[in-house]
Amino acid sequence: METAANTLPAEGSLQLRDQLCFALYAASRAVTARYRPLLDELGLTYPQYLVMLVLWERDAVSVRDLGAALQLESSTLSPLLKRLEVNGLVRRERRADDERSVAVRLTGAGVDLRERARAVPLAIGDAMGLTPEQDAAAKQLLRLLTENVTRG
């Protein structure tokens, strides 16, 4: 309900503060920054954490399917997965039935990390400080936005 004193949403404004894109960019970096100290404790970066979320849901995922889930290119995932492998959280092996494909699997350490990670979304949800209604509304709007912007 920002009216009068707050707004001048001119058509085609080049004002930084008017732009949804900047609010989005700033919010995304602020949230990632908030995750950083928590994920440091787990030895993960934020994109690595997202990969682990996928693997904790369903193990033995191809690089292709990881990319589909996270909307990331193999050129981003391949080095990231190599770092996760060096850190002992995943293994990679070519699939026998299709040698082009690589199955990414959790190691014991990768599986074990899940329990320590359970506190993370709770802490972040707390820091976000949105009501359940606001959280749901934000997710809905962001998914709509992503959908529109991706297609079109």
- Residues in contact with DNA by CB under 7 A are 25, 29, 32-33, 36, 45-48, 62-65, 67, 71-83, 92, 97-102
Q: Which of DNA, its own copies, none sits in contact with 141, Cβ below 5 to 8 A by type?
A: its own copies
Q: How many CB atoms lie within 10 A of CB 142?
A: 13
For its own copies, the closer CB: 99 or 115 = 115
From the CB of 53, what's the least distance to its own copies, in Å? Answer: 5
Half-sphere exposure of 104 (CA within 13 A, CB side): 29
Where do runs of H (alpha helix) occur along the chain?
20-42, 46-57, 63-70, 74-86, 108-117, 119-128, 132-150
Rounded to 5 degrees, what angle do the CA atoms 138, 144, 149 make?
125
Rounded to 5 degrees, what angle do the CA atoms 32, 75, 96 make?
115
For its own copies, the closer CB: 54 or 80 = 54
For DNA, the closer CB: 18 or 76 = 76
Structure tokens at 124: 């972040």
Q: Which residues are at the interface with its own copies (CB under 8 A)? A: 2, 9, 11-16, 19-35, 46, 50, 53-54, 56-57, 69-71, 114, 117-119, 121-122, 124-125, 127-130, 132, 134-146, 148-150, 152
